[in-house]
Structures are given as C-alpha cells and as structure tokens.
Amino acid sequence: MYLRYHPSRLKLIFSFFLFFFLLLIIRIFYIQFFRFSFLKELAKKQHNVYIELEARRGNIYDCHLRPQVINLPRQSLYAIPHQIKNKPELINKLSEILNLDPDYLKSRIYRDKSFIWIARKIEPSKVEEILNLNEEGLGFIKESIRVYPNRYLASHILGFTDIDNVGLEGVELIYNDYLKGRPGFGLFLRDARGKLLDLWEKVVLPQDGFDLVLTIDEVIQYIAERELDKVFKVFKAKSATIIVMDPFTGEILAMANRPTFDLNNIGGYPDWVRKNRAITDIFEPGSSFKIVTAAAALETGVIKEDDRFFCENGSYRVANHILHDHQPHGWLTFREVIEQSSNIGTTKVAQILGPQVIYHYIKAFGFGSTLGIDLPGEAKGMIKVPALWSKTSIGAVPIGHEVGVTALQLVSAISVIANGGLLMKPFVLKEVKDKYGVKIKENSPYIIRRVIKEETALRLKEILAGVVENGTGKLARIEGIKVAGKTGTAQKIGPDGRYVHDRFVASFVGFAPLDHPRIAICIVVDEPRPYYFGGVVCAPVFKRVAREVLNYLGVYPQPLKEDLDKLASLKDETD
C-alpha cells in the first residue's frame, strides 16, 4: 500500500495545536496573574462560610441573686438556596411547620445568596419536624433566646431585647453595653455539597457579657405588684403605680405599674402599656405635695406646729377663685392643717412664706428636674418660676396643683423626711459581675443635696405620723408599728384645659417604721372609681404592703399597751 506524504498538511495541523497550546498558556498566565484574587475569593465562598459566634448575654438577678433574666439555647434555621432541589415543595412544608407566609419564604429561598436566614430561634419541637424533612440546603445554627422566668414581675424595670438580644427598654437597654458581650466569628469549611464540616480555617471566640445584680428584691416586688393589682382592678382604674424605696440609700426595692405586660410575649402589648409610668408619667399630685409647703414653713422658722389658722369654714377667696376644703374647718393649728389636709390652711401658710420661698423648696426637694435614676425615659416634671405665677397660683401650687410630678419624685421627697433631710439619688443597679463572680462595677448611695435640717425632718415626721393617727391617712395605720404619710387627691385637667369633676388622681406617700424607717412607699392610682380619695384608695395599699414587707425584713409590730396590760394581769394571776 502506498502512503503519500503531505508536509503542508502536517505543518497546518502542528501550527493549529501550537496556536491552541499558546492560547492555553496565555489563558493560564492571565488566570494566574490577573484573576488570581477573584478566583481565590470565589473558592473561599464555595468552600468557606463566615458565621458570627454569639456572645452569651449577661443574666440579671435581684439583690439576693435570684434570677430575673436568663438565656436558653435555641436553633436558628438557614438555607443555601442553590442546593435546594424542589423549592416549591419545601416552601409549602416550611410554611406549615413554621406558620410563615409562603410568599415570605419564597422571597427568601429564591434569593441569589450562598447563605440566608429562614427563621430565628425556633421552638425545639419545630426543629425536630424540620430535621425529619431531610432536605438538602437547610441547616441550623445555635443561638440563645432571652427568657424572663417571672413573666410579668418587674417587667417595667427589666425591659426587653430584640431578636438579636440587643436591649430595647429598661435595664436591658440602659446597661446593654455591660450585658451584650462581644461576638466572635468562625470561618468554617464545607464540602462540595455545601454541608458544614467540623473543620475551620479561623475562629475568634466570643467574649461573654457581664451579669447584673439589681437592688430590687423579688419578694418585695411580688408583694407590691400583688397589692397594686388588687387596687387597680377593684377601683377600675385607668392606671396605677407603686414604688418601694430604701429612704437612706436610694435603692429601689420594688417598682411596678398597671397595666403591665408579659416579658416573654412583648409583641402582644401596645407601646403605652410597656412604658414605665413610675418615671415617665407626669400628674398633679394634690395634697401629697403639701409636705413641701410644710417643710418650707418649719425650715424657715416662720411657722410653728402650734400656730393657729382660721380655715374659713371651708370657703376662701384667692384673687378671683374660691378655694374649698373637702370638709369645713374653723380654727386649726399648723399640725392639724397638715393632718386634716386643709387646702385653705396650707394656702394661708404659703401666703405668709411667699412664692419665692415655696419655689425654692420645690426645687430643693427635686421637683422640676430629673433625679438621675438608671432607667430610660425619666421625666423631669413641670414647675413654673414665680414670675409666671398667676394671682391664683399661691392657692394652687402649695397644695399640689399647677405642678407636674412623677411618682419617683414623690417617693424621693418623702424619703427626705424619713432619712433626716437628704435627697438621695435613686438607683436600680447594685453591681456588675463577670461569669466568675468578680465585681466589675458597684453603685453606692449618692447624696444629691441636703434639703432640710435633721431637726426639721424630725418635726415633720411627727406631723406626718399625726396624718395617719388622727387625719386623712387613718386607713394606713399598722397595729404595733408607727408610720407616717400623706394622702393626695387631685382633680384632673380635661381637654379644654379646665378641671373636671369626675376624674381624679389618688395618691399616698409614706414611710415606716417612724423612728427608724426601712421603707418609703408611693402609690398613685389614676381615675379610680367609684371612690377617689387618696386616703380611701391608696392608704390601705400602703398598709398591706408596708406590713408584709416589714415582716419580711424582720421588723415586727410592738405589743399594744392593752395587750401588755393583759399579759401582766395573767402573770399576776399565775403567780
């Protein structure tokens, strides 16, 4: 067989392969030197996944280290969209399990992403159902959920967080920087199918947040909330507030509002329910504000306890306004003016003192400015400088009208009298600790200023004890324990700017025991019905709370004289 030789054809084939080989060399050179960074990053995206490692958010405890806020583990579901084979079928299954809108799931699963969240912090039972689907392209990452064991208890103090455990209200917000810690991250490897492997390229471990120890006492908080709940429901009130405070340190032992909310289900409540009325809501206090006028009168030395005032039999003109008492009085001593809560007697005292003196002591007691409590949203209240007083203001401001105060300011003011004349800064954080119990920060009592002399405070104590023993606060009496306090009843202002006759704010502020006060309490009830006097609505709440809290603190009633006499007679008979 004869074979012909075709050198030109061989040269053509060789040239073609040589050209093709040169193209490959150029392409490889281009990829190696010009596309290297891009392809390296692409490979990393395919075989590495960046996952943020959640830091443990700090726990929150009461003053006896009883947990109020803790963390529980939860699984969060993610998807790798391009690995999901039958997306419509998976969307229907997940929609049924997670109770999510199919359109929402579709918008997530059809995105051109290598990692996408589907649902965060899922219930364990639902995790099991999803695992049973055995679907490619789905995975779980361990996170934590914020849990409040006592649900409603101290809800307005504790506050809450968002889905990422970032504080939004209360202590959770104000001390978020201490609680949150610092997250870590990991570059984890995955196989060709995108499944995470137990291998990693780089890991930075998270730093856990610090724990908080609060001044509140779980037991005192429970007592206060239980009694507040009763008065709120019995008197069909619009809202109600209670604060229990250590008058010597400023520590908040309990603080509560009604209506309230479940911290484990915050989405089920409107914003107005979740606000902390104890520090945000401003109201006219009425007669409970007379403690300021009484303090000014005694401190200046202008008035003595036995000075007498004619109370005009219940009707007294101040400029173009007729001032009334809740019941007519003739001549009363200054002590009796406060005990019987006479508006006319108090106004006559204020007229002697003058607007400047009254205003000075209002400011000194902390009204019209924030007290600096470590909770968000504290209001400073509202007071007018004397230059803006009308001709009738001298008959309104000293008895608790034409002023706006908060419950926190009232309990701080009564604490001035209880502790001997000092205005203390209120606070709810006792200390900050790390997970090993090492103290990071500690709050100590802080004196804002001296308001009145200790002698004046002692004289006022006796007068306020008379309010409970002989005056408008009789329903606050505790057998065997001497207490002091002041009632308040104030008409509310309507939409037209005038006082209305069927809407009131009832209040009571007091402390106990008289000689060595352990607690100061403020109760405010907004629009109680059908009764609205502070001595009827709020004084009994003070009695029940104070009696039980003092018993818990180890302060027990002293035997009454008749009981002692009875015991002595029994002893004589036995002898």
Phi, then psi, of 500 in degrees rounded to 5: -100, 155
For residue 221, give Cα distances in angstroms to 25, 230, 552.
79, 14, 12
Active-site hit among 76, 155, 287, 393: 287
Chain position carrying tokens 């280290």: 65
| 3-state SS assignment for residue 330 | coil
- Which residue spans within 35-156 are E strands per DSSP? 48-53, 60-61, 67-79, 116-122, 138-147
CA pair distance 52, 394, nearest whole angstrom: 63
CB atoms < 10 A from the CB of 13, how many? 10
Is 444 a known active-site residue? Answer: no
- Backbone region of residue 99 per phi and psi (left: phi > 0; alpha: psi in -120 to 50; beta: other values): left
Q: Is residue 487 within 8 Å of residue 525, measured between CB atoms?
A: no
Extract the tokens encoding 408: 């926190």
- Where helices occur in 340-439 by DSSP H, the ranges are 343-353, 355-364, 407-419
CA pair distance 26, 23, nearest whole angstrom: 5
Q: Is residue 547 within 8 Å of residue 478, measured between CB atoms?
A: yes
* Four-residue CA torsion sign, 101, 102, 103, 105: positive
Alpha carbon 528 to chain centroid, angstroms = 24
| Beta-ladder partners of 323 | 316
CA pair distance 238, 532, nearest whole angstrom: 12
Question: Which residues are identified as catalytic?
Answer: 287
